Amino acid sequence: MNALITGGAGYIGGTVAHLLMAAGHRVVVYDNLSHSQRLSVPSGSDFIEGEVGDRTKMEAALRSHRIDAVLHFAALIEAGESMQCPELYFSNNSASTLILFQAMLAAGVRRLVFSSTAAVYGQPERTPIEEDAPLRPTNPYGESKLLVEQMLAWLHRIHGFRYASLRYFNVAGAIAGRGESHEPESHLVPLILDVALGRRKSIRIYGTDYPTPDGTCIRDYIHVRDLAEAHLLALTALEQRDRMVYNLGNGQGFSVRQVIEAARRVTGHPIPVEECPPRPGDPAILVASSQKISRELGWRARCPGLDEIIADAWQWHQVRYRTGASISTQ
C-alpha cells in the first residue's frame, strides 16, 4: 500500500510511519516542519515539505505517488493555546483539513485514518468514556477536531469516503530512536523528565482542587507504540469496514501527582513541584474505554504500565540529552 502521512516528521506520525514501513508499505511523509526538523523524517520514506492547506501541492502529491490512503496527524495540539487563539485552531485543524479532503476526493483517494482526540468529549458524564458519550468540547482544540469528524461523517454519507477516527488520550513513551519533545515543551511526561535531567528546576502542577482523590487532573496514558499499532489495524480494517470511531487509551487513569511519583521511581530524581492555578478548558478526568477497538479489531495495549511507559521515554530522553538529538511532535 502507498500511504501518505501528514505530520509524518512528528512524534506520533513518525512512529506510525516507522511501523508501516517495517510492515512493507511505502510511505510518503508530508510535513511543513513547523514543529519538527528535516532530520526527524523517518529514514526510508519519501518526503514532501508542504502545507496541508496547499490544495495544488497536496493533490499533486496524492496523484504522483499513487496514494491509496492518508493518515492525517498534522495539527495544532495545545488546548491551552487554543483558549487564547481559537482562530488558529479552526484555521489549521479544521479549514486546512477540509482542503486536504477536497484534494483527496479530486485525486480519487477515499481512505483516511484521522488523528482525533479525547478532547471532543469535554467534561465526561461518566468514566471510562465510551465512543457514544456526548461530544461537548470545553476548548477550541477539541471543537476543531470535532468539526473534522462531522465533515467525515458527511463525506462518508455522500461520497462513500472510508475513514477511521481515532480519539487519543495522553500519548507517551518512545521507540528506539524516536521520542517526544516540543519547542517549547508543553506535555507533562517530557516536562517531568526535563526536570530529572536538570534542564528545568521544577514541574508545574496546574490546579490542585479538582474533584479527584489528590486534587489534580486525571488522564489516561497510552504508549506511543500501542497507539501506532492501532493505526495499522485501522488502516487494514478500512478494506472491509467503511466507517470506524474508536477511543485509544489504557482504560485506567493517573493523576498528575501519580505521574510525577512514577517518574521519581523510574529516574531516581526528586523532581520538585510548583503548584499553579488551573488552566481554563481542562477537564478534571479523561479516561478511555477501549473495549470497542479491542472487540472489533483485536487491539490491546501491550505496555499499559505507567512506569514502563515513562521508562521508555526516560531512556530516549537521556540519549537525546547526551547527543543533542530532537524529534518533535505535531
State the cell numbers at 115: 488523528
Query: How far out from the chain centre does Cα 134 lie?
Result: 21
Structure confidence at residue 132 (pLDDT) = 97
Q: Which residues of 130-156 are buried (b: 16+ CB within 10 A; e: fewer)?
A: ebebebebbbbbbbbbbbbbebbeebb
211 vs 285: CA distance, rounded Å: 9
Structure confidence at residue 280 (pLDDT) = 86
Structure confidence at residue 330 (pLDDT) = 39
- Residue 95, helix vs strand vs coil: helix
The cell 490544495 sits on which residue? Answer: 55
Structure confidence at residue 328 (pLDDT) = 43
Residue 180 CB burial class (10 angstroms; 0-12, 13-18, ≥19): buried
Residues catalogued as catalytic: 141
Structure confidence at residue 293 (pLDDT) = 98
Closest CA to 262 of 207, 170, 193: 193
Cβ-defined contacts of 184-189 (< 8 Å, 24+): 186/78, 186/80, 187/329, 188/219, 188/256, 188/259, 189/221, 189/259, 189/263, 189/309, 189/310, 189/313
Structure confidence at residue 184 (pLDDT) = 73
165 vs 152: CA distance, rounded Å: 9
Residues of the chain with pLDDT below 70 are: 324-330
Q: Is the peptide bond before 42 cis (omega within 30 degrees of 0)?
A: no
Which domains, from first to last, does the chain contain? 2-171+221-248 (3.40.50.720), 174-219+251-323 (3.90.25.10)
Structure confidence at residue 327 (pLDDT) = 46
Structure confidence at residue 70 (pLDDT) = 98
Residues in contact with 24: Cβ distance below 8 Å, sequence separation at least 6, in sequence order? none
Tell me the pTM.
0.94
